[in-house]
């Protein structure tokens, strides 16, 4: 079936609602409620899914979208819950140097405990450290840039698009080959942040700097034993299988192809962290709430469902696109900022698999895979909807004023 341009309207409405409703005084308070967010997502998403399944006869596309949504949310939920049991205590001086070190550490660990885990672990102590300062918004923005996105380039655990790539056969260790790009981009971002923060630090009122200098508490890690749960999630992502839709669709699936073993282990790690971990760390120190992950879960079901026709339409026009190393980066990156980077990565991955070129990784020309990976991960930082952890950082920062 051919998808017309107007099939993109529900998706555009979904994005427009996310962008505008929180800014309109009449709807801002309403949009804060998870029930409203879920209602909006389902009102726009379910009719699209039914139309694609029943009218277009493409039920497989809807099933793929739902399964990838479930895998996506399971990874984010597990990392979010486990990070809530680890608390980085302390309140050091909010100098440009200290803030830059915070972001550098976050960008380094993001590839190994996930951008969600790193962002949730560091955003609260970073906000606490900067609580006496009057200029803090840029620090939250660069946390999204570095910790919630660009730092997660080195492993499939780091960022959801790379996780989808691993599901499609990209070796777990392949992303380590992107280290030069990871170092360059994060180095430039840290350098930019440092000089920007120096400028704002010089403009801080004297009373703010005095309060910041006197309210000091050494840094310390509480709940370090919960890092074991992070290790379990890393193991699950690296070594355990999930549902194999291709084997199921082709009719040669075995019993284990139907079992989401990876997701079961990740959710078990999250449950272990939640029920066994120190509750005072989660509820008192981290002031843990379900709000950020509920917001991501509610809004992204609408995004994933309304995105099905958008991705199909993109696949239709793909043959007319000038696809090469540069344009793969531009198209993947530009659309990752608007379509969410995980399914956008998957779409261009499948397109690249149809093109010639050597050497190949997971049947995709490696040069194109590099461009697609960089575009999806790095450009997911451009908007809040570009990557799930962006929503979480924003929600935590909003809750702290």
Distance CA 107, CA 143 (A): 9
Q: What's the pLDDT score for residue 274?
A: 93
pLDDT at 264 over 90: yes
Give domain limits for the chain.
34-399
pLDDT band (50, 70, 90) for residue 377 = very high
Which of 22-36, 85-99, 173-187, 272-286 has the highest mean predicted lDDT (pLDDT)? 173-187
pLDDT at 308 over 80: yes
Distance CA 311, CA 333 (A): 15
Of 323 and 150, more confident: 150
What letter would DSSP give residue 85?
T
Report which of 78, 162, 79, 170 is spatially closest to residue 336, judged by C-alpha positions: 162
Count of helix runs (H) and strand runs (E) in the chain = 18, 4
Q: Let me know: does 223 contact 283? Beta carbons within 8 Å.
A: no
- State the residue for tokens 């310390």: 220
What integer is the mean pLDDT of 71-79?
88
What integer is the mean pLDDT of 325-330?
94
pLDDT at 176 over 90: yes
pLDDT at 319 over 80: no
% of the chain with per-residue pLDDT over 90: 42
Which CB contacts under 8 angstroms, 24+ apart, belong to 222-225? 222/86, 222/87, 222/88, 222/89, 222/278, 222/281, 222/285, 223/85, 223/86, 223/87, 223/277, 223/278, 223/281, 224/86
Distance CA 194, CA 98 (A): 10
**23-54 confidence digits (pLDDT tens):** 788 888 888 888 999 999 999 999 999 999 99
pLDDT band (50, 70, 90) for residue 354 = confident
Of 70 and 246, more confident: 70
pLDDT at 56 over 90: no
Of 319 and 232, more confident: 232
pLDDT band (50, 70, 90) for residue 365 = very high
What integer is the mean pLDDT of 298-313?
88
pLDDT band (50, 70, 90) for residue 12 = confident
Write down the mean pLDDT value for the chain.
88
Distance CA 287, CA 341 (A): 29
pLDDT band (50, 70, 90) for residue 97 = very high
pLDDT band (50, 70, 90) for residue 219 = confident
pLDDT at 167 over 80: no
**117-142 confidence digits (pLDDT tens):** 899 888 888 998 898 999 999 999 99
What integer is the mean pLDDT of 349-356?
83
What integer is the mean pLDDT of 373-382?
94
Q: What's the pLDDT score for residue 350?
A: 79
What integer is the mean pLDDT of 329-353?
84
pLDDT at 339 over 80: no
pLDDT band (50, 70, 90) for residue 162 = very high
Report helix, strand and coil shares of the chain as percent, to nearest 5.
75, 5, 20
């Amino acid at each position: 079936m051919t998808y017309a341009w107007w099939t993109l309207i529900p998706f555009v409405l979904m994005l427009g609602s996310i962008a505008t409703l929180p800014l309109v005084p009449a709807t801002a308070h309403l949009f804060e409620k998870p029930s409203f967010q879920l209602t909006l997502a389902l009102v726009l998403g379910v009719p699209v899914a039914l139309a694609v399944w029943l009218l277009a006869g493409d039920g497989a596309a809807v099933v793929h979208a739902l399964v990838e949504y479930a895998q996506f949310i399971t990874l984010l939920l597990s990392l979010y819950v486990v990070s809530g049991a680890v608390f980085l205590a302390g309140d050091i001086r909010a100098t440009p140097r200290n803030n830059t070190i915070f972001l550098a550490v976050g960008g380094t660990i993001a590839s190994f405990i996930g951008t969600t885990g790193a962002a949730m672990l560091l955003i609260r102590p970073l906000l606490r450290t900067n609580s006496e300062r009057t200029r803090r918004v840029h620090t939250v923005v660069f946390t999204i840039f570095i910790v919630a996105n660009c730092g997660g380039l080195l492993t499939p655990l780091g960022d959801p698009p790379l996780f989808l790539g691993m599901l499609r056969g990209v070796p777990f260790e392949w992303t380590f080959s992107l280290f030069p790009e990871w170092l360059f981009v994060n180095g430039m971002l840290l350098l930019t942040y440092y000089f920007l923060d120096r400028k704002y630090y010089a403009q801080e009122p004297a009373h703010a700097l005095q309060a910041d200098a006197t309210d000091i508490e050494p840094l310390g890690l509480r709940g370090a034993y919960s890092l074991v749960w992070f290790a379990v999630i890393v193991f699950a992502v690296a070594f355990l299988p999930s549902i194999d839709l291709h084997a199921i669709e082709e009719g040669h699936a075995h019993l284990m192809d139907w079992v989401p073993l990876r997701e079961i282990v990740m959710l078990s790690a999250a449950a272990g962290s939640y029920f066994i971990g120190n509750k005072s760390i989660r509820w008192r120190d981290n002031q843990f709430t379900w709000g950020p992950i509920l917001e991501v879960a509610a809004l992204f079901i609408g995004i994933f469902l309304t995105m099905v026709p958008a991705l199909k339409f993109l696949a239709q026009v793909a043959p007319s696109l000038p696809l090469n190393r540069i344009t793969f980066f531009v198209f993947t990156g530009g659309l990752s900022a608007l379509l969410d980077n995980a399914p956008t990565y998957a779409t261009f991955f499948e397109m690249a698999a149809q093109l010639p070129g050597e050497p190949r990784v997971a049947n995709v020309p490696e040069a194109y895979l590099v461009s697609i990976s960089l575009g999806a991960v790095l450009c997911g930082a451009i908007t809040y909807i570009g990557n799930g952890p962006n929503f979480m950082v924003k929600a935590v920062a909003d809750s702290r004023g």
